[in-house]
C-alpha cells in the first residue's frame, strides 16, 4: 500500500477535523477546512491592499489563510472513518526533510507537497471490495485525529 499526495494547491488543516459529511446515491460530500501556501496568502493580502489602499482588517487577514471546501466524490461505492490514523511507511521518494523546504516547494510550485489528501495505490481495501471489475480509486483524507477512506470514481473541490 502506497500513499500518493493528490496534486492540489491547499492542505487540510492540521488543527481541525473533518467538519461533516453527507452520503447517498453513489455520492459523498465532505466539508473540510484547508490552508493555503504562504505565497498565496501574501498575494491575497497584496491584492486586497492594492484595491483598497489600506491594511487588510484582521478578520479578513486571518480568513485569507484558508477556506472551507466541499470535496464531492461521485460514483462512491464505499467510505469509512477511522479514529486511529494508520501509520503508512515513508515510501515516497519526495520526502521533505524540514518545514522550510516543504513551504519553499509549496510556494514555488503552487502544489502542496503533503496535502493530507491521498490516492492509495495497491489498496487492500480496494482489492477486498472491488470484485466486479469496477474501476474505482481509493482516496484518503487525513485530518487532525481521523482518516476518511473513500472508494469512488471521481472527485472535485468546491468552495463553501
Write the burial class of residue 46 (CB in 10 Å: 0-12 exposed, 13-18 middle, 19+ buried).
exposed
Mean pLDDT for the stretch of residues 130-152 = 84
Cell 491584492, located at residue: 47
pLDDT computed for residue 92 by the predictor: 47
Domain boundaries, the chain: 2-36+67-159
Q: Which residue has the higher pLDDT, 96 or 62?
A: 62
Residue 153's SS3 state is coil
- Grid cell 490552508 in the structure block, residue: 35
> Which residues have a Cβ under 8 Å from the Cβ of 128 and sit 6 or more positions away?
none
Interatomic CA distance for residues 46 and 39, integer angstroms: 10
**In the predicted model, is pLDDT for residue 93 greater than 50?**
no
> What is the grid cell recorded at 98?
524540514
Mean pLDDT of 61-87: 85
The CA distances from residue 33 to 58, 71, 129, in Å, are 19, 10, 30
Amino acid at each position: 500500500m502506497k500513499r500518493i499526495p493528490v496534486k492540489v494547491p491547499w492542505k487540510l488543516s492540521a488543527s481541525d477535523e473533518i467538519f461533516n459529511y453527507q452520503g447517498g446515491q453513489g455520492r459523498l460530500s465532505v466539508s473540510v477546512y484547508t490552508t493555503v501556501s504562504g505565497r498565496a496568502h501574501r498575494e491575497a493580502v497584496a491584492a486586497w491592499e492594492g484595491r483598497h489602499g489600506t491594511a487588510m482588517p484582521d478578520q479578513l487577514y486571518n480568513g485569507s489563510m484558508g477556506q472551507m471546501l466541499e470535496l464531492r466524490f461521485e460514483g462512491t461505492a464505499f467510505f469509512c472513518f477511522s479514529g486511529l490514523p494508520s501509520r503508512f511507511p515513508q515510501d515516497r521518494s519526495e520526502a521533505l526533510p524540514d518545514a522550510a523546504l516543504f513551504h519553499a516547494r509549496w510556494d514555488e510550485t503552487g502544489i502542496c507537497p503533503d496535502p493530507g489528501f491521498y490516492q492509495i495505490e495497491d489498496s487492500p481495501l480496494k482489492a477486498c471490495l472491488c470484485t466486479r471489475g469496477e474501476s474505482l480509486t481509493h482516496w484518503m483524507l487525513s485530518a487532525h485525529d481521523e482518516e476518511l477512506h473513500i472508494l469512488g470514481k471521481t472527485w472535485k473541490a468546491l468552495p463553501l
